[in-house]
Amino acid sequence: METTLRGVGVSHGVAIGEVRHMGTAVLEPPAKQIPPEDAAREQARARKAVEDVAADLIARGNLAGGEAQAVLEAQAMMAQDPELTADVNRRIAVGSTAERAVYDALAAYRALLAGAGEYLAGRVADLDDVRNRIVARLLGVPMPGVPDSDEPYVLIARDLAPADTALLDPTLVLGFVTEEGGPTSHSAILARALGVPAVVALPGAGELAEGTVIAVDGSTGEIFVEPSAEKKEQMEAAAAERRAALSASTGPGATSDGHKVPLLANVGGPADVPAAVEAGAEGVGLFRTEFLFLDDSKKAPSEEKQVEAYRQVLEAFPEGRVVVRVLDAGADKPLDFLTPADEPNPALGVRGLRSLLDHPDVLRTQLTALAKAAEGLPVYLEVMAPMVADRTDAKAFADACREAGLRAKFGAMVEIPSAALRARSILQEVEFLSLGTNDLAQYTFAADRQVGAVSRLQDPWQPALLDLVALSAEAAKAEGKSCGVCGEAASDPLLACVLTGLGVTSLSMGAASIPYVRATLAKYTLAQCERAASAARAADTAEEARTAAQAVLSGE
C-alpha cells in the first residue's frame, strides 16, 4: 500500500528504485587490557592506521575534486590532529589496545564538540566517520560505506559522511535519503554538485526495509513508499517534462519579459569550473578559496600557489564576472595558523573577516595574489569579505584591498542580520552585497546549519529570512549598487523567482541547479515574481510562504 513520507528536498530530480542501506557502523571494540611491553607495538599500529585513513581520504578527495576535495582534506587533518594522537598514545600507555584507545579518544573529543552548544554538529558527523574508518582498519573489517550492488538503488543512511557522498556513482545511486542533515549540510551541497536527487532530515528513514521500492522527489522532499504504477508514471512523466524544459532553455538568465538575472556558479576551485561552463554559467558568484588553505593547517599557501589556482578560474570566464570570497576560516573550518583553538563558541567568535583582520599578512598575500592572477585578463574581478557585521568591517576590508593594489570591485557578504539591517551604511564603503543565505539563516534563527533537528529553521523560505533579503536588496537599489544571492537558496527554482521579485540582481548556485533555475525564471514576468515575493513575505511559516508563491505563479 502506497504511503507518503516528507523530509527536506535538497537536490532536484526524481529517483525510483529499491532501498539499499549504508554499511553498518563499526562495532565498539572490547575493553581488554594489554601488558606494558605491548604498548609501543600498539602505538605503532594506531599511528599506521591513522596515516592510512588520512591517505585514503586525501586520495578520495583528489578523485572527487572541487568542494568535495576540500571537505575530505579537512577530515584527513582531523584524523591526524596532534592532540588526538597524544590522547591515543596516553590511553595505550595505561593498557588500552590501539582500537579501544582510538575509539575512546575520539568519543571524548566528540562529547566535547557536542557539548559546545552543537555549533560544531557537522564536524561531529565527520568525526564519527574518521573514528569508524580507523577502528575498522585496526580490526581488519570492511570499511563502513556505500553498499556493493550491480543494480541501481536508492541509498538510505542515518547521515552520509563526505567521504561517501563525494564518490557516489550516479549510474548506480539513483538518489539518497538520510535521517539527519539539513539543506545546507555537506551532504546536501555535494548532492547538488553531483546532480543526485536527495532528501534529508527524514525521521524513520532507517526503518525502510531493504529492497523496498520507493520514489524520491528531491524538489518537494516527498518519499512515496511502494508507489503505485500510476504514481510512478506521474513522477516519471514530470521528470521527462522537466528534462525537456531544461534542454530547451539556454542563454543568459532572464524573466519571460526580458528582465536580466545573471545566473552564476558557486565553485570551490579549478576542478569545479568545467561543470559550471557546461551548465552555461555567466560567471562565478562565489569562488570559495578555502580549498587552497586546507592543504596545510599550519601555514598559508604561498602567493605563487594562490596566483596559479586563481588564474585557472579567472581564465575560464573571459569577459565574465568572477566574485571571489577571501578566506572564510573559523567555526567548522579551523586553521591552526589563523583561528583560536580554545573558543567556547567558534561560530560566534573570531571567524571570516575577523580572523583576516587579526592576521593582515594573510589577507594582504591573498589580495596581492588575486591582483596578480587577474593581470592582463578581461575578466570582471570582484572580491568580497565574509562575515561583515557593520560599516567598520566593510571599511577595513576596502582599505586592505586598496592597499594591496587590487583593481576590482570590493564587496561584503551579508551573513549576519546586522549587515542586512544596516546594509545601506555598509554600502557607503563597498560596491556590492552578496547574501550568504546559509549562514544568514543560521544566525537569524539560532539554528545550526548542520543539525537536522532544527532544519525547519534553516529553510530559506522562512519569511523572516526573506525580509532580510528584501532589506538588503532595497538598500542596494537605493545606492545604485548590486545585491546578489550566493547561498544555496538560489538553487531552488521557485525561490529564485521570489528572490528576483525581492530585488536581487544575480543568483549564484551549484552548477547542476543552473538549468533548472534558468528554465523556471523564463516562464514568469518580473511582475509575477514581485507578486510571488509579496505573497511569500506575508506568510507566517516557510511552508505557507512556498505555497503562497506557488499559487501566485500558477495563477491560482
pLDDT per residue as tens digits for the range 452-468: 677 788 889 999 999 99
Cβ neighbourhood burial of 390 (10 Å; 0-12, 13-18, 19+): middle
d(CA 527, CA 515): 22
Residue pair 14/233 in contact (Cβ under 8 Å)? The answer is: no
Among the residue ranges 5-9, 149-153, 199-203, 340-344, the one predicted with the least confidence is 340-344
Count of C-beta atoms within a 10 Å radius of residue 9: 23
- For 224-254, letters b (16+ CB in 10 Å) and e give bbebeeeebeebeeebeebeebbeebeeebb
Distances, alpha carbon 473 to alpha carbons 301, 398, 496, 530, in Å: 35, 20, 14, 13
CA-based nearest residue to 122, from 30, 33, 190, 55 = 190
d(CA 225, CA 4): 6
**pLDDT for the residue 343:** 73
Please identify which of the residues 186, 401, 497, 529 carries the catalytic annotation: 186
Ranges of H-type helices in 294-349: 303-315
d(CA 496, CA 10): 14
Please identify which of the residues 12, 359, 401, 486 carries the catalytic annotation: 486
Most confident of 248-252, 328-332, 462-466, 515-519: 462-466
List the beta bridge partners of residue 339. Answer: none
**pLDDT for the residue 490:** 93
486 annotated active-site: yes
Please report, rounded to a whole number, the percentage of residues in the chain having pLDDT higher than 70.
91
460 Cβ neighbours under 8 A, 6+ residues apart:
183, 437, 441, 487, 488, 489, 492, 495, 542
Q: Mean pLDDT, to the nearest integer, of 337-341?
A: 72
How would you classify residue 33: left for phi > 0, otherwise alpha for psi between -120 and 50, otherwise beta? beta
Of 245 and 56, the structure prediction assigns the larger pLDDT to 56
End-to-end CA distance of the chain: 32
Residue-wise pLDDT tens digits, 284-309? 999 999 878 876 657 889 999 999 99
Cell of 547: 505555497
Residue-wise pLDDT tens digits, 44-94? 999 999 999 998 888 877 776 666 677 778 788 888 888 889 999 999 999
The DSSP symbol for 486 reads -
Residue-wise pLDDT tens digits, 176-187? 899 887 776 667
